[in-house]
Structure 1
Amino acid sequence: MTLTVKALTCDYRSELLGTDASTPKLSWKLESDRRGTMQGAYRIRVTRADDPSAAGPLWDSGKVTSSQSLHIPYAGPPLEPRTRYAYEVKAWDEQGEESPWSASQWWETALLGEPWRAVWITPDPERIDPQGEPAFLLRRGFELKGPVWRARLYATAAGVYEAYVNGRRVGEEWMSPGWTSYNKRHQYQTYEVTDLLVSGPNALGLQLADGWYKGNLAWQDNRNLYGDRRAALLQLHVEHADGSETVIVSDEQWKSETGPIQYAEIYHGETYDARLERPGWSEAGYDDSAWCGTERLDLPYDPLTAQENWATRITERLRPIELLRTPSGETVLDMGQNMVGRIRMRVNAPAGTRIRLQHAEVLDREGNFYIGNLRKARQTVEYIARGSEQGEPESYAPYFTFQGFRYVKVEGYPGQERGADVPLDAFIGEVMHSDMPPTGEFECSHPLVNQLQRNIVWGQRGNFLDVPTDCPQRDERLGWTGDAQVFIRTAVFNYQIGPFFTKWLRDLRADQLPDGGVPHVIPSVIKGHSSAAWGDAATICPWEMYRAYGDTSLLEEQYDSMRAWVAYMRAQGESETLWNTGSHFGDWLGLDAKENSYVGATPRDLIATAFYAHSARLVRDAAVVLCKAEDVRTYGELHHRVVAAFRNEFVTPSGRLAAPTQTAHVLALMFELVEGEGRTRVARELNALVEANKDHLTTGFVGTPYLCLVLSAHGYHATAEKLLLQESYPSWLYSVVKGATTIWEHWDGIKEDGTFWSDAMNSYNHYAYGAIGDWMYRILAGLDMDDEAAEPAWRRLRIAPRLGEGALTHARASLETPYGRAVSAWRIEEGRVQLSAEVPPNATARILLPDARLEDVRESGAPLAETSGVTAVEQTAEGVLIDAGSGAYRFEYLRAISGGVD
């Protein structure tokens, strides 16, 4: 038997460069060739990676008898700023088998509370207009005496920036420092720049644009929401081979100018005049004598924190699939995919040639370029060629903006005026989003469902650009709380979102109102707060993060925020257990809404009280995890009373819901607000409501995420499956049939006749309805956590696929859990069921073989009694129930004819 330790991470990252965490948390995975492997003990060793002469480890945990392999807090001496630490782990299994030491991994601290020596700087306002549109260029030359051993650049901006060392761009990040409520929390970045520096003359440079800090945000043309002047903060630490150190900081010695970026806005695009380029501006020896000076800007340092989120990067490049000539004569590139990012263009053109790229998501009914749904957002990039005597092509992609688009209208490209085709190979789409590692996959026998899965993933990619936005194309792109909470369970399957939501939840906590209210969007930049189902992101998202990753520290961090939100709800209603006041979005975009209304027919006080009960329960559950016994009692009692108030107000004595809407029934079932015969009746009536609508849904943002889940859970899985597989409006597959490559905001964003729902609010990349992915993975494919075991982070799996009635012949889901790869895959051929399951080491699973008879089941060709790794077997009415340890299993059996067991 071979036991190894692999995939070491520190705070979710394999290599964490620049953290301000004083007690980072270490995790690892096991690999074993034996089924049923569990960890019995571990040992961690931490050393200073940059001090090989140090005697012995900085911290040695010793052998710790524990099965825990996630989020072990560092417990050695206090960490030092700007220091790299190496760590390694060994483990013992439950039988005492010892692994070798793992490969070494590292994390590196950033400033870790060390005072900044740099000051915030901005160009001299007497020479460069602080409110002007051109991006700033900042530079400083300096001398290094002696060879460079190690160098780190710590940088951020009031605005968005990119840094240069000796003419070379630093790092692969874009749109840094990301978007936070800058006056409360402001990220800075750490860059490895050792190889960019030389002994002798060097130079630092920085480009700086408005970004989210002072640029146009939301549809109200708001500007300067965090400040009215851009500024930069840089600190370069250079360690020499002789042990000395040189520190170069941003200060009044820096020079400033403007350059080729004449305009840069997130919504509107960028204008780049290549004739204004300043070759060599960030290199040593550049003549900056005519440049302007800089001055210190009095901005705070207290909000500064090292980068928390995954950096925004270019993760994929797409070639256009077709060049279109529209009926109105436009030249349009079709990228084949609704994407978020930018176009990189190559061109050979005379100086002054102006090329214009405008971006859009769809074409209209006639096939013409359509920008109505962008509202005020222009999504336009302009490039003015510098020309080249040698005839070498120029290459350009915008620096400080991003677009949401599938189609690109091209104007002014050389030759267009003569009717020549634009060369497709001159353009490439660069996909940008927070660079989250992918974790999950889903596929099945239905090609349209597989395309739906791709649309869900692309919707997440496009809208997870530093914050979970509602749409990436129009004049909005805001962190709507409701969208985030309904999608988070699906998001966990697709990508590793630990750092992403950790950062965003800290933003939520920072922007939460003193009375516990939660702004509609985070970061908070519009008026309005505390709608039911939107504000509940304060409780739902921390809890789902805990369930997904098992990190109690984030739950502890957010606990006061969770309690504050429940306290806010408790203070709102006419009684403390019924929330029947306030302004709410209701079942947003529900199809049962009144004419000209966005709000569905489900009473808003019903929705508000249902979420009040749900959030009270989540705070109680969090209190259980955090061992807060008094709060367990307090919120347990509150939850009980709110549920009672809900029943008294919204359920008749005979058990009928007062609101005859799909969403009302969904919430009552999902949040367990009815019980016994009442629950049976509500489920039956929900099914009847769906059938009465010809097996179509009427739900909006609130009801849709839970609709199929509650149908499957209460005996109506066939109805849930019909809902998924509907191709006519309204349904998930309707947009797929219409050619969608992302999730739409409206079920009928494009109507049957090709017309549009509305220009006012019609995004074609709006991930909320992609929450159906949660049901597809957990119920259809059957890969889930066993909630009865109360083990977070997929420690205890439940593999229990729903085979349906023959519409699907196979489905497969896989997930890279915190313990390793988990898989549930089933296939039916000629009545025989094949079910493959993978359980990672240090985890267990409860596996249900649906419609199976115990005597028929074989695992890898052998009877269950001879199967290693299986610890218990039981025949149930649903099928055969198996408890199993880690390993890969392949079950096969003849499906019971009746859909159950005789």
Structure 2
Amino acid sequence: MKLSHLRTNHVKEPLGLNMSRPVFTWTAYDTPDKKQAAAQITVSLEGKTVFDSGRGEDISSLGYEAPIELLPRKRYGWTVTVWGDGGDCASASSYFETAKQDEPWQAKWIAAASSGEFADKERQPLLAKDISLSGNVASARAYACGVGIYELWINGKKAGDEYLLPGYHCYDFNLEYQTFDVTELLRQGGNTVGLALGPGWYKGDMIFDRYHDLYGDTLHAICELHVTYEDGSKAVFGTDDSWRAYPSPVTFSNIYDGEHFDANLSVPGWSEPGCKAESFGTVVYEEKVPLVARRGPKIVKKQEFAPIEVIHTPKGETVLDFGQNMTGWVEFNADAPGGSVIKLSYGEVMQNGCFYRDNLRTAKAEYIYTSDGKKRRVRPHFTFYGFRYVKVEGVEMVCPGDFTACHIRSDIDPIGSIETDNVRVNQLFHNAMWGQFDNFLDLPTDCPQRDERLGWTGDAAIISAAACKNIYMPAFFHHFIENVGMEEEYHGGAVPFYVPAPKKAKPGTTGIDVDPADFMSLPEGDMAAFDAAIDKYPELRAAVDALPEAERADFAVKVITENFSFEHGNRKGAAIWSDVATMMPWAVYENYGDLNLLRAEYPVMKTWVERMRRDDTEDGGRGLWLRGRQLGDWLALDKPDPKDAENPFGATDLQYTASCFYFYSTELTMKAARALGYAEDAEDYAALSQKIRGAVISEYFNPDGSFKIEGTQTACVLSLFFGIYPKGKKDVVLEQLKSRLRAKDWHLDTGFCGTPFLCRALSDNGANDIAYTLFLNDDFPSWLYEVKLGATTVWERWNSLLPDGSISGTGMNSLNHYAYGSIVDWMYRNMAGLCPSEEKPGYKRVTICPMPDPRIRSVKMEMDTASGLYKVGWRYDGDKLRYNIEVPFDCTADIMLPCGRIEKVGAGSYAFDDTL
């Protein structure tokens, strides 16, 4: 027996991860034994055992929480021993290191003093301090945070392998600090610690209307360095007003527009001892938002790409093609005369053989480097791009070897793969995987390239099930759900369209500093409540009083919605988008089986369902959700608008859709309550879900199973997938879906609501052949249409490009949007047939029910699940269908073949044949 994938709180060897108690996970493999008989966990600190679980039969590899109180800034070792049911045994060890926990900070937040060059608050600073170490260093840790974005430098070298720190999270509720092992960067004697700062998400332009200073108008940072000498003595150094500030050679940076670097303004040796450059002072900055240890995985460089082609366009441009649409940047060797300018422009697609970026809307997505005549390796520091193509200007002879594309994402790794005999299907799987890679950068974003890049909750909700099969997601998604919970609490139980949901500190309409919380909870149209709220702001009161009576209501709406609610109706919630509060936690639990995570996330699930129930009760308690700012079946194709070719709204009834997801979220919360043993909640939500089902059937269906509303493809899909239809009328709904598909020549026209469930609704209800038809179509609209046109990621729209390769529009047209990559869930569950069990989640027990179709001749699927490596393969071989299946240690499977054969098996390798 061997043990692998030892993780603490779902991260391998975490350094400074936020945790109150450690949760350990692992997998066992390479053993003749079938089941785990027992396991034991021990935890040690400085060579002494501080916890021993003893040998226990109920210790789960999916998540064992050790009941120990963790000390700050300590490295703990832990060992797991596993015994199999046949006597085999193995042990393995790992470690984790705590952050500061509740320990008070000795360091202070600091900023450049507002004088000299820093009188302009847009000037980006380099902060530095010389320190002296009195002995040889045994170990050293730096605990740091900076906003907007920061990098930590020591003795001329960047600390750690992370980028874009501290990442993007709800800055208005907490600021996450990072822990660095800087032992190898320090030496006895003189040292210099430096912090480079840029605007980032915190201060730079963000959101559709380019709001500036969303979270604050001052770049500031904090750093506390703890050094342990070889003789055991310790020293602590921290930021204070004795630090110095230099103007940064980064003269401009912005998430959307890119970065400008003037090498002539470089400060040689700014983070090294002996720097002689002119410096300015620093001041202590009062930061009111609490510091917490990092909650999610690091942002790191995961892969590098060389150009596959240098393109010389009809316009005379020089464009590098890196062969893959990705998130990150290009690093290059700069060797140009002093004063010359090198400009890189980033784009996703070529048009008419030339560089193109109009679909990025207002995002300039460029990097501008001004040379000082010296050779150096250049990269951005405070921004990122979504791109495949890079236009190079200012370089006379472009040498491809001088340019490297760096793919940047959160430190999460793939666990699943599917390979078929169909090249385009394989490319679609690749595209779905890369769409997730590119948009999982500290939070799940909608796109990585245009003037948006936000944590849109609807996209995250519908990709969560597929993502959990493709990539090891629990720590990343848990971090996001924690942020969802903060916003949910702030917004009265509703989940915004995107998380984080910025709240502008100074409303543009009035220019008066107010607390958004005073206005976000106001009922719409309630002028009395608005008048009461503004009484505490004399300037705002005066502005309102100066308006004509007829204009006051409009002004109130503008103040509330435009200035405090950028995410358009976030106080109301919306089906699919707000349902991330239930869909993502359940996907994580179903795929990874950790009850500790589900227990932590359950309040977020419950709060959202209770918000909908409150709305329902206020509307008469019929069991329908009739409120919210609904986007419905977003980007569906069944409601064309001749006046607006990019119309994003589908034809499916908005309130029907909302009520269906009201039911679905209630069902998922009921299942979570059952798993956690919350019997009273489970019974309550079971009753509520049945009430909702009955109400939806009564309101939207005729007794014969036909719809009272327009029975769109999506309306039928939601009915079948959620099981909402009159008793005995499932086949009637299925026939309506078939009829709708037949009318479209067996093509889909679904959007965000219907697409994730479309093929599953068909395959699970006896129409697997139609599911394959939709899946294998390669003309518009279909998944393979974009593959045929050369896509390397999933598009936002079914027709982002037209058949001739021209872009269909620029208003909302990303070529790297993962939402429709949700088809991967069907590929795992139905095509390959691997389905986790709700009773024993995390793939401890599965159903393996492959659903082949002769249009695909072979499938090979592997998934390195939380319980171990599953393999499912099938292939057509003459008059036979041959299956090869592997089930990992400590798991059981119900294998159900299309011929009706059922096998109940444990760990092992199995081969079956079906005669056609």
Output the TM-score relative to the length of structure 1. Answer: 0.91
| Distance in 1 of aligned mates of 2:119 and 2:741 | 58
Contact 1:613–1:643, Cα closer than 8 Å, also in 2: yes
Contact 1:310–1:436, Cα closer than 8 Å, also in 2: yes
Q: In structure 2, what residue type is equivalent to 1:656? A: S
| Distance in 1 of aligned mates of 2:114 and 2:805 | 52
Contact 1:39–1:67, Cα closer than 8 Å, also in 2: no
1:62 equivalenced with 2:54 (yes/no): yes
What residue in structure 1 maps to residue 394 of structure 2?
412
Please state whether the residue corresponding to 1:398 is helix, strand or coil. coil
What residue in structure 2 maps to residue 342 of structure 1?
329
What residue in structure 2 maps to residue 840 of structure 1?
888
What residue in structure 1 maps to residue 83 of structure 2?
92
1:650 equivalenced with 2:696 (yes/no): no
Contact 2:31–2:889, Cα closer than 8 Å, also in 1: no
Shift of 1:18: 1.0
What residue in structure 2 maps to residue 575 of structure 1?
620
Q: In structure 1, what residue type is equivalent to 2:57? A: T
Q: In structure 1, what residue type is equivalent to 2:591? A: A
Shift of 1:359: 0.7
Report the aligned-residue RMSD. Answer: 1.5
What residue in structure 2 maps to residue 8 of structure 1?
6
What residue in structure 1 maps to residue 861 of structure 2?
813
What residue in structure 2 maps to residue 803 of structure 1?
852
Q: In structure 2, what residue type is equivalent to 1:617? A: E
Contact 2:42–2:80, Cα closer than 8 Å, also in 1: yes
Matches within 5 A, 1:554-569: 554-569=597-612
Contact 1:832–1:892, Cα closer than 8 Å, also in 2: no
Shift of 1:22: 2.1
Contact 1:141–1:201, Cα closer than 8 Å, also in 2: yes
Please state whether the residue corresponding to 1:58 is helix, strand or coil. strand
Q: In structure 2, what residue type is equivalent to 1:292? A: F
Contact 1:275–1:385, Cα closer than 8 Å, also in 2: yes
Contact 2:117–2:123, Cα closer than 8 Å, also in 1: no
Note the alpha carbon deviations across 1:21-55, whole angstroms, 9 max, x for none.
121101121124315x111111111111xx23x4x
1:729 equivalenced with 2:797 (yes/no): no
| Distance in 1 of aligned mates of 2:679 and 2:256 | 49
Shift of 1:132: 4.0
Q: In structure 1, what residue type is equivalent to 2:814? A: S
What residue in structure 1 maps to residue 304 of structure 2?
317
Which residue of 43, 49, 52 maps to 2:40? Answer: 43
What residue in structure 1 maps to residue 674 of structure 2?
624
Quick one: percent identity of the two aligned structures? 38
Contact 2:114–2:121, Cα closer than 8 Å, also in 1: no
What residue in structure 2 maps to residue 716 of structure 1?
767
Contact 2:17–2:296, Cα closer than 8 Å, also in 1: no
| Distance in 1 of aligned mates of 2:757 and 2:54 | 46
Q: In structure 2, what residue type is equivalent to 1:331? A: T
Q: In structure 2, what residue type is equivalent to 1:616? A: T
Please state whether the residue corresponding to 1:103 is helix, strand or coil. strand
What residue in structure 1 maps to residue 724 of structure 2?
673
Shift of 1:409: 1.2
| Distance in 1 of aligned mates of 2:264 and 2:420 | 53
| Distance in 2 of aligned mates of 1:686 and 1:299 | 56
Matches within 5 A, 1:515-534: 515-525=492-502, 526-528=566-568, 529=570, 530-534=573-577
Contact 2:586–2:668, Cα closer than 8 Å, also in 1: yes
Change (3 A) 1:43 1:675: farther
| Distance in 1 of aligned mates of 2:631 and 2:866 | 36
| Distance in 2 of aligned mates of 1:514 and 1:485 | 19
Question: What residue ranges of structure 1 are gaps of 5+ in the alignment?
Answer: 416-420, 852-878, 897-902
What residue in structure 1 maps to residue 320 of structure 2?
333
Shift of 1:301: 5.5
Q: In structure 1, what residue type is equivalent to 2:427? A: Q
Note the alpha carbon deviations across 1:74-129, whole angstroms, 9 max, x for none.
124x221000011111122234x2514x2321011110111111110000012343
Note the alpha carbon deviations across 1:477-502, whole angstroms, 9 max, x for none.
00000000000111112211111111
Contact 1:745–1:766, Cα closer than 8 Å, also in 2: yes
Change (3 A) 1:742 1:126: same
Contact 1:131–1:229, Cα closer than 8 Å, also in 2: no
| Distance in 2 of aligned mates of 1:586 and 1:73 | 40
Question: What residue ranges of structure 2 are gaps of 5+ in the alignment?
Answer: 503-565
What residue in structure 1 maps to residue 72 of structure 2?
81
Note the alpha carbon deviations across 1:591-630, whole angstroms, 9 max, x for none.
0024033110000001000000111111111111121121
Contact 2:705–2:726, Cα closer than 8 Å, also in 1: no
Contact 1:90–1:98, Cα closer than 8 Å, also in 2: no
Please state whether the residue corresponding to 2:190 is helix, strand or coil. strand
What residue in structure 2 maps to residue 459 of structure 1?
435
Matches within 5 A, 1:706-785: 706-785=757-836
Shift of 1:131: 4.9
Which residue of 272, 276, 279 maps to 1:291? Answer: 279
| Distance in 2 of aligned mates of 1:98 and 1:22 | 34
| Distance in 1 of aligned mates of 2:876 and 2:106 | 66
| Distance in 2 of aligned mates of 1:333 and 1:821 | 39
Please state whether the residue corresponding to 1:257 is helix, strand or coil. strand
Shift of 1:354: 0.1
Please state whether the residue corresponding to 2:24 is helix, strand or coil. strand
Shift of 1:675: 5.6
Shift of 1:780: 0.7
Contact 1:214–1:226, Cα closer than 8 Å, also in 2: yes
1:161 equivalenced with 2:150 (yes/no): yes
Please state whether the residue corresponding to 2:118 is helix, strand or coil. coil
| Distance in 2 of aligned mates of 1:445 and 1:331 | 37
Please state whether the residue corresponding to 2:611 is helix, strand or coil. helix
Contact 2:110–2:221, Cα closer than 8 Å, also in 1: yes
| Distance in 2 of aligned mates of 1:128 and 1:570 | 55
Q: In structure 2, what residue type is equivalent to 1:706? A: F
Which residue of 410, 417, 421 maps to 1:441? Answer: 417
Note the alpha carbon deviations across 1:257-284, whole angstroms, 9 max, x for none.
1121111111000001112112211012
| Distance in 2 of aligned mates of 1:637 and 1:66 | 32
| Distance in 1 of aligned mates of 2:238 and 2:909 | 55
Note the alpha carbon deviations across 1:384-419, whole angstroms, 9 max, x for none.
11213xxxx422111111111111111111x2xxxx
Q: In structure 1, what residue type is equivalent to 2:499? A: I
Q: In structure 1, what residue type is equivalent to 2:398? A: V
What residue in structure 1 maps to residue 169 of structure 2?
180
Q: In structure 2, what residue type is equivalent to 1:26? A: F
Matches within 5 A, 1:863-902: 879-889=900-910, 891-896=911-916
Q: In structure 1, what residue type is equivalent to 2:286? A: D
Matches within 5 A, 1:371-520: 371-388=357-374, 393-413=375-395, 415=396, 421-512=397-488, 513-520=490-497
Q: How many residues align?
A: 841
Shift of 1:650: 0.7
| Distance in 1 of aligned mates of 2:282 and 2:875 | 67
Q: In structure 1, what residue type is equivalent to 2:300? A: R
| Distance in 1 of aligned mates of 2:59 and 2:845 | 13
| Distance in 2 of aligned mates of 1:130 and 1:446 | 61
| Distance in 2 of aligned mates of 1:324 and 1:89 | 55
What residue in structure 1 maps to residue 630 of structure 2?
584
What residue in structure 1 maps to residue 541 of structure 2?
none
Q: In structure 1, what residue type is equivalent to 2:843? A: W
Change (3 A) 1:735 1:47: same
Q: In structure 2, what residue type is equivalent to 1:458? A: W
Please state whether the residue corresponding to 1:19 is helix, strand or coil. coil
Shift of 1:130: 6.2
Please state whether the residue corresponding to 1:422 is helix, strand or coil. coil
Which residue of 101, 113, 133 maps to 1:124? Answer: 113
| Distance in 2 of aligned mates of 1:109 and 1:25 | 13
Contact 2:703–2:726, Cα closer than 8 Å, also in 1: no
| Distance in 2 of aligned mates of 1:47 and 1:760 | 57
1:209 equivalenced with 2:198 (yes/no): yes
Q: In structure 1, what residue type is equivalent to 2:483? A: D
Note the alpha carbon deviations across 1:807-833, whole angstroms, 9 max, x for none.
011011111111111111111111222
